[in-house]
Structure 1
Amino acid sequence: MSNEQNKSKFIYTYVHHVDEYDLCRMEMRSFFSFDSKSNYIISNIKVDPSRSPFIQDRLEVLYADNSLENIKTSVKDININEATYKVVCLNNMDIGETKKIPQPERRLIERETGLCIEGEPDLDLPEIVFGMILIDGIWYFGKHMKSESIWCKHLHKPNSYSTALSTRVARAVANIAVPQPQNIRAIDPCCGIGTVIIEALSMGINIEGRDINYNVCKGSRENITYFGLTGNITLGPISEVTEHYDVAIIDLPYNLFTHTTIEDQFDIIKHARRIADKVVVVTIETIDDLIEDAGFVIADRCIAKKQSFLRQILLCK
Structure 2
Amino acid sequence: MKYTQLGRTGLKVSRLVLGTMNFGPQTNEADSHAIMDAALDAGINYFDTANVYGWGENRGRTEEIIGNWFAKSPDHRDKTVLATKVYGNMAPTPDGVAAWPNHDKLSAVNIRRAVDASLKRLQTDYIDIYQFHHIDRATPFEEIWQAIDTLIQQGKILYVGSSNFPGYKIAQANEIAARRGGTIGLVSEQCLYNLAERRAEMEVIPAAQEYGLGVIPWSPLQGGLLGGVIKKEISGGRRASGRAADTLANPTSRAQIQAYEDLLDKHGIEPGEAALAWLLTRPGITGPIVGPRTAEQLDSALRAVELDLSEEILTSLDEIFPGPGPSPEAFAW
- Relative to the length of structure 1, the TM-score reads 0.29
Q: Which has the higher helix share?
A: 2
Larger Rg, first or second structure (1 or 2) = 1
Specify which structure has the higher proportion of strand. 1
With normalisation by structure 2, the TM-score equals: 0.28
